[in-house]
Amino acid sequence: MHSSGTRTGLSSKPRCSPTSQIQPLRILVPVCGTSHLSEHLYDVGFKAITNIDLSEIAISDMLCRNACQRPGMKWQVMDITTMQFEDESFDVVVDKGGLDALMEPEFGPKMAINI
């Protein structure tokens, strides 16, 4: 549990590479949709990726697109407001929506200045 009493699912153990000698970096991508982000992360070496989305269609499409090429990636239909993961299940959470906003040509540069 987080000090505020909420579950974070994040691990406090340090990791610094996609495939550490001890254990691979465990990544959660909430609200993954049909984005290619997880595929790109997997292809550069991050193999322990769990993707969740509320849309059964998006998860089904992504499973079909990735099952053979990226067998280590996990896909689950799940509501991010009621995630069912144990504490310290992940080392990193990649907020695709936040990254999308930063990459938006019209707003991204303005947002980056405030970060």
Residue 89 lies inside a defined structural domain of this protein: yes
CATH code of the domain containing 108: 3.40.50.150
In tens digits, what is the pLDDT along the chain, a chain of 115 residues? Answer: 444 444 445 555 545 555 545 578 999 999 999 999 999 999 999 999 999 999 999 999 999 999 999 998 999 999 988 999 999 999 999 987 767 666 666 655 555 555 4
End-to-end CA gap in the chain: 27
Residue 2 lies inside a defined structural domain of this protein: no
Q: Residue 97: which residues within 8 A CB-CB, separation 6 or more? A: 31
- The reported pTM is 0.69
Residue 85 lies inside a defined structural domain of this protein: yes
Give the per-residue SS3 of 26-53: EEEEECCCCCCHHHHHHHCCCCEEEEEE
Residue 31 lies inside a defined structural domain of this protein: yes
Residue 48 lies inside a defined structural domain of this protein: yes
Tell me the residue range of the domain where 109 lies: 26-113
pLDDT computed for residue 97 by the predictor: 74
Residue 70 lies inside a defined structural domain of this protein: yes
Residue pair 28/11 in contact (Cβ under 8 Å)? The answer is: no
Considering its fold, how many domains does the chain have in total? 1
Residue 13 lies inside a defined structural domain of this protein: no
